[in-house]
Amino acid sequence: MRSCYRLFLCLLVLALVLTVSFGIDPTVCRAADKPEFGSSPNPVGSGARALGMGGAFIGVADDATAASWNPAGLIQLGTPEVSIVGSTYSRSEDGKFATEKIDSAPQSVSETNLNYLSGVYPTDVFGRNIVLSMSYQHLYDFNRKWELSNFPIGTDSADISYRQKGGISALGLSAAMQLSEKISAGLTLNTYNNGLTQNNWQDTMEIKDSTWRNQDKYTLSGYNANLGLMWMINEEFTVGAVFKTPFRAGLVHEYPSCDENNVCQTHKLYEKLYMPMSYGVGVAYRHDDPFTLALDVYRTHWEQFKHIAADGTETSAVTNTPVGDADIKPTLQVRLGAEYLLICPKITIPLRAGVFYDQAPAPQHPDDYYGMSVGTGLAFGRFAWDIAYQYRWGSNVGSALAGKSWNYSQDVREHTVYTSLIVHL
């Protein structure tokens, strides 16, 4: 799942079966096919405002990004609006081999992309308030780069290069309805279709100073839903809940093969990926208008994350071992955030901060990640602009990614910046 498990499993196979002449069958690593999330694999929402509050937004969800956090919160929007969110990040991974003389210098990747785009339209149907929304959300990135020197292959060693690039995005149709004076419900239907948004990634691995090169491309498709509830207990307390349904995604795996005359053709394998269910609860406390305090608790069942190969072989997509042997446990997120509004005659300046604990799936026990964030912005007239910075880190994580014999661990450091613009029409 995380941090190049696929890479190290392939490298382990290489170390066992390759000769010094590098006579490699390009299909040797295909048993290890599975996605390698570069970003946090846990399903979270979008938006600079939410990021600035540490991602504690399930019980707040009162802007256009509510479709990704808790669609029931859309009912709080009283006028049509459009929103756009851009993001940029830089992530470094410092891997260490305790018992092997393998050189693994810190590696880093960075990227800027469109994180979220939406339009919201409130209306009235048979006397009930209904809010409709259409959105685009960038969910996961698969960007990773690794350079390993002196990796043992047979009786010799070689330099290994691995590169992964791509991501998963969704288009969402949302609706929120006011069920009573204090309770609302919402639904977001997400479609993952590579013809509409980016839903593919590519792995490339090669041994330097040789002709061996392995390249695979994956394309994902599927549907799922976000179900939300919002209970406005009183003027101060709001409770929100969200459930993101599991789903079976289609996975098209493409890879080339070449004959002795270097004539190549592309092969396709039709596989499946079972994505896990997740759910969370959030509580928001508002003291008058200026101050909001929010707390979220979120759980994802990664033991349900399975890969079904073209021949029907079923494995855990976290460990690439039989599902019954994987020993994967659900992960937990705890997020705490606050917002204070400096309200001036013509403008409002928000001040935001948050902290979070963000587990990531791993064998036996989830890996522990932590983070903090700050944010601010400017609201005037029909416009609201926000910006937020997040720092996320994990130390000595991924110890089981390459197998116990390698004594591997890594330190991860990630810097992320979101900026949002909301226009009230």
What pLDDT is stored for residue 43 in this prediction? 74
SS3 66: helix
Split into its structural domains, the chain has a count of 1
CB 101 within 8 A of CB 115: no
**What DSSP string describes 311-334?**
T--EEETTTSSBGGG--B--EEEE
Do β-strands 247-258 and 264-275 pair in parallel, antiparallel, or remain unpaired? antiparallel
* CATH number, residue 240: 2.40.160.60
How many angstroms separate the Cα of 7 from the Cα of each of 35, 63, 136, 203, 264? 11, 40, 31, 9, 24
What pLDDT is stored for residue 22 in this prediction? 39
Q: What is the pTM of this model?
A: 0.87
- 60-64, 104-108, 229-233, 352-356 — which is least confidently predicted? 104-108
Place of tokens 């949302």: 174
Q: How far apart are CA 249 and CA 271, in angstroms?
A: 9
Higher pLDDT, residue 395 or 147: 395
Kindly tell me the burial class for residue 87, based on how many C-beta atoms sit within 10 Å of its own C-beta (0-12, 13-18, 19 or more): buried
Beta bridge partners of 268: 254
Other CB atoms within 10 Å distance of the CB of residue 314: 14
Q: How far apart are CA 213 and CA 289, in angstroms?
A: 59
Q: How far apart are CA 10 and CA 401, in angstroms?
A: 11
Q: How far apart are CA 408 and CA 22, in angstroms?
A: 25
Q: Name the residue range of residue 275's domain.
A: 5-424
Q: Is the pLDDT of residue 12 over 50?
A: no
Q: What are phi and psi of 50, to 5 degrees?
A: -65, -40
What pLDDT is stored for residue 107 in this prediction? 83
CB 356 within 8 A of CB 374: no
Angle at 4 between CA 156 and CA 306, to 5 degrees: 125
Q: How far apart are CA 149 and CA 171, in angstroms?
A: 41
Length of the chain: 425
What pLDDT is stored for residue 31 in this prediction? 38
What pLDDT is stored for residue 270 in this prediction? 95
Beta bridge partners of 220: 251
